[in-house]
Amino acid sequence: MSSDRTRSAILAAAEKLYADRGFGDVTLRDIVAEANVNLAAVNYHFGSKDELIAELFVTRSLATNRERLNALKLAEEKGNGRAPIDAILHALVGPTLRGCLGPDREGSTAARFMIRASIESVPPIRRIKNREVDHLRKFIAAMRRAMPGRDDADLYWGLHFALAMSHHTIREKERLIRLSEGKCDLNDVDAIVDRVVAVSVMALTGGEAPAKKPARSTMPQGRLTRQDL
């Protein structure tokens, strides 16, 4: 087997096993047996189990991020450089939800691997998520153009909540189906995307937080002022 074919076989075997059984229950020996290669080949191509997991996650994430940025670019071109906030958030969460949900995607190895990656917080994936944020900065820049004058912190929280809702929906879809007794349709992925976007837009445009009440002055006991009434 050529070096490239060996590497591809290891990646395919690892992704399938991780998708089926999770990251903690799969050993390198399981992977080499599934790929029909020797342990030295894994060490040669990847160095460690963590590096192998990182390679798989980066490969899948890059595809999702390209889809996100392409959708964002189209939305901004359509808006002459300024896309509406709902179009920006559609570009952000749509690829993730469409990649993992729906009867035509959930059974795929790639989708099941990414669902595992969302559910199981393993160090190599956590490090990548915390480090690779440059593509998200492009969304923040687009959100600034869509909502000029909006406080930056509001935009960061809005993006954070949109991503959190997406990942939580993927992780906890069975619980939502049971809780709603089937009223929430997790097979209609476009409707899920629309709902996540609508709630995120509402959070960003629903008005400013109420101003803090001024501190009440301390008055001698027994005396009331108009402020106390």
Whether the predicted model's global pTM rises above the 0.85 cut: no
Cβ–Cβ under 8 Å, residues 76 and 150: no
Q: Could you list the pLDDT tens digit for every one of the 229 residues in the chain? A: 678 889 999 999 999 999 999 999 999 999 999 999 999 999 899 989 999 999 999 999 999 999 999 999 999 999 999 999 999 999 999 999 999 898 878 778 999 999 898 888 799 999 998 988 999 999 999 999 999 999 999 999 999 999 999 999 998 888 999 999 989 998 899 999 999 999 999 999 885 444 444 444 444 444 444 444 3
Cβ-based neighbour number of residue 106 at 10 Å: 16
Angle (CA) 33-19-166 rounded to 5° is: 160
Q: How far apart are CA 29 and CA 127, in angstroms?
A: 25
Tokens standing for residue 28 = 């390198």
